[in-house]
């Protein structure tokens, strides 16, 4: 009886070891395939790298001109906008990378993967890691332009930005894989993605500070996981940078201001914007928790593939 029990335990251990080996091999192959497909597609690389630059320097410079100077000449709007555009790069790349699932389904490759002797969850994990890798690669390229936005390089700033990008890209790619796992239409995927992406982006605080908002909008920003990713990115990228909300006396001529100050009038000062609304560990825990939950759901969706 003892020998039989030991043999049974050894068999179960061997099965677990075989499952883990097949899971890791399947994950690696799918990840490598997606990364190679991205790297070999020159037009996709160029378009993915140019898009955030357009948002940052064209849109950011245009809005900066409209606002004159964000923070009464102390902080440019481009500086405030940079972490949000960096998070936006991760958002769009992560989510749209999952379109490869529909492409693979159209040409029958997904069926071959589902009948291969690998766990279905390794397909989801490989797709998630592949999309997250391409998103982080684009984010690394975008970090090169940090000084052009008025933000100096720093070891802590770059390392923590990479950490936040990695966690955020894994969570967002999990969401994209979850959506694409049950979709059949190549044409419908961009429509559904834009329906989800645009509210997530605009309610994340990438374009404007999440302070003084109406109650309904404040609630939406709190339930939006992207807002925690942007908050974490701003926390590490703008660390040590003072942000001013604007000069309340900007329209008053300097000579009048001098007379008021000389007469002893208490003049209001520029209010300071908070760099981040939550501690960094809270932001990372929220994004990580959402990512794990979405990965489990996407693995379940692949487990139900017919």
Contact 231, 86 (CB under 8 A): no
Residue 178 lies in a domain: yes
Closest CA to 144 of 167, 130, 162, 170: 162
Least confident of 12-16, 116-120, 133-137, 214-218: 12-16
Asked if the model's pLDDT at residue 30 lies above 50, the reply is yes
Q: Which of 14-28, 115-129, 191-205, 224-238 has the highest mean pLDDT?
A: 224-238
Alpha carbon distance 60, 243 (integer Å): 16
Alpha carbon distance 100, 33 (integer Å): 11
What is the pLDDT confidence band of residue 119, given thresholds at 50, 70 and 90? confident
Residue 262 lies in a domain: no
Average pLDDT over residues 36-58: 77
Closest CA to 143 of 256, 208, 49: 49
Residue 261 lies in a domain: no
* DSSP bridge partners of 243: 273
Residue 31 lies in a domain: yes
What is the pLDDT confidence band of residue 194, given thresholds at 50, 70 and 90? confident
Residue 6 lies in a domain: no
CA-atom Rg of the chain in angstroms: 24
Query: Token pair of 41, please?
Result: 């597609």
Domains identified in the chain, total number: 1
Asked if the model's pLDDT at residue 3 lies above 60, the reply is no
Give tens-digit pLDDT for 124-180: 888 899 989 988 988 888 888 888 877 888 888 889 999 999 999 999 999 888 888
Residue 4 lies in a domain: no
Alpha carbon distance 90, 166 (integer Å): 9
Domain hosting residue 93, numbered range: 16-246+270-303
Give tens-digit pLDDT for 76-100: 777 888 888 888 888 888 888 888 8
**How does the average pLDDT of the chain come out, rounded?**
76
Asked if the model's pLDDT at residue 230 lies above 70, the reply is yes
Residue 263 lies in a domain: no
Residue 3 lies in a domain: no
What is the model's pTM?
Answer: 0.78
């Amino acid at each position: 009886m003892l020998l039989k029990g030991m043999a049974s335990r050894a068999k179960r251990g061997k099965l677990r070891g075989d499952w883990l080996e097949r899971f890791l091999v399947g994950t690696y192959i799918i990840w490598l395939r997606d990364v190679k497909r991205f790297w070999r597609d020159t037009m996709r690389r160029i378009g993915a790298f140019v898009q955030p630059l357009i948002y940052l320097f064209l849109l950011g410079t245009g809005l900066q001109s409209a606002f004159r100077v964000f923070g009464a000449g102390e902080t440019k709007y481009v500086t405030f906008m940079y972490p949000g555009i960096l998070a936006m790069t991760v958002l769009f790349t992560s989510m749209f990378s999952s379109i490869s699932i529909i492409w693979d389904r159209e040409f029958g490759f997904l069926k071959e993967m589902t009948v291969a002797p690998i766990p279905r969850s390794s397909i989801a994990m490989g797709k998630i890691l592949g999309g997250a890798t391409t998103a982080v690669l684009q984010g690394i390229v975008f970090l090169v332009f940090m000084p052009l936005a008025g933000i100096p390089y720093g070891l802590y700033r770059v390392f923590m930005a990479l950490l936040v990008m990695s966690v955020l890209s894994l969570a967002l790619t999990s969401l994209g894989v979850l959506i694409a796992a049950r979709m059949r239409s190549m044409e419908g995927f961009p429509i559904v993605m834009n329906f989800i992406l645009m509210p997530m982006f605009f309610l994340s605080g990438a374009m404007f500070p999440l302070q003084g908002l109406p109650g309904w909008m404040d609630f939406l920003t709190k339930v939006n996981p992207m807002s925690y990713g942007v908050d974490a990115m701003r926390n590490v990228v703008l660390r040590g940078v003072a942000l001013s909300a604007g000069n309340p006396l900007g329209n008053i001529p300097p000579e009048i201001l001098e007379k008021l100050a000389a007469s002893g009038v208490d003049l209001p000062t520029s209010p300071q914007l908070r760099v981040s609304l939550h501690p960094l560990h809270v932001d990372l825990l929220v994004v990580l928790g959402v990512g794990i939950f979405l990965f489990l759901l996407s693995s379940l969706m692949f487990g139900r593939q017919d």
